[in-house]
Amino acid sequence: MHGLSRRLCRYISYIIILCLFLAPLSGGLTGTAYGEQVSLLNDRAADMVGATPLVARDLVLPAGLTGQGQIVGLADSGLDKGSMTDIHPDLASIPGEMPKVALLKSWAG
């Protein structure tokens, strides 16, 4: 019985530590690094890629799926030659509007 109590206390301790670790993340992934405030700019992603809001009503749930609270990152190996000047026409920027592609990063090495 003593071993069971000890294991139960250990598991409860792990859960408390995990909750303390995850508590700062529940506010939208904000925090400080090297003395400056950092946060994700997901509220700008739709404008950057020229997307319009979409609500799929009655899909999976009666209220539908809105994507609210989701963060999306894209990695694509098909952006032509990896140059901002030679990009696929579907991803090309329109003068006077927000660019659809803000950064190209190569993981090829």
pTM as predicted: 0.27
Q: Tell me how far apart the alpha carbons of residues 105 and 54 are, in angstroms, rounded to a whole number.
A: 28
The stretch 9-24 carries a mean pLDDT of 66
Confidence tier at 100 by pLDDT (50, 70, 90) = confident
For residue 96, the model assigns a pLDDT of 87
Rama region for 19: left / alpha / beta (φ>0; ψ in -120 to 50; rest): alpha
What string of DSSP letters covers 12-81? HHHHHHHHHHHGGGGGTS-EEETTEEE---GGGHHHHHT-----BTTSSSTT-B--TT-------S-STT
